[in-house]
Amino acid sequence: MGDLYIRPKLVESQFDDEGRATLTTTFASRRLSFQFNNRASLPVNRYRIGDIRCDGIPIEFEQQKDGGVLIERSLIKSLAPEAEHSIVVTLLPKPQSSEGVE
């Protein structure tokens, strides 16, 4: 079984007035409640994942070339199976290239 891959493609209308979008899913037999924070109201092609926290604790992730991130399955499996876990993903501006073109 594989790792958890996250690459949000959320558009402005999917965020609430405070810049949050939420969803709940199951992965590795664990119930996960995701909250994506886009407080700067960045359009989908202008944000990247800047921080991820699980139940308030920063977690390590592997940035992929396509902008997505991988979270190791073993980390998710280490979570208590009977609880719903909160994963907060903070979206930040993508860095601008040296030529100013993305």
Q: Is residue 98 part of a domain?
A: no
Higher pLDDT, 67 or 16: 16
Can you give the residue range of the structural domain that contains 57? 4-93
Q: Is residue 75 part of a domain?
A: yes
Q: Is residue 101 part of a domain?
A: no
What strands, in cross-sheet order, belong to the sheet with 69-71?
4-6, 69-71, 62-63
- pLDDT greater than 60 at residue 100: no
Q: How far apart are CA 95 and CA 102, in angstroms?
A: 9
Q: Please say whether the beta carbons of 15 and 41 come within 8 A.
A: yes
For the chain, what is the domain count? 1
Q: Is residue 31 part of a domain?
A: yes
Short-list 40, 39, 78, 54, CA closest to 6: 54
Q: 86: domain CATH number?
A: 2.60.420.10
Q: Is residue 13 part of a domain?
A: yes
Cβ neighbours for 15, distance < 8 A, ≥ 6 positions apart: 21, 36, 38, 41
pLDDT of residue 97: 65
- Predicted confidence (pLDDT) per residue in 52-98, tens digit: 999 999 999 989 999 899 999 999 999 999 999 999 999 999 987 64
Minimum mean pLDDT range among 3-7, 24-28, 52-56, 58-62:
58-62
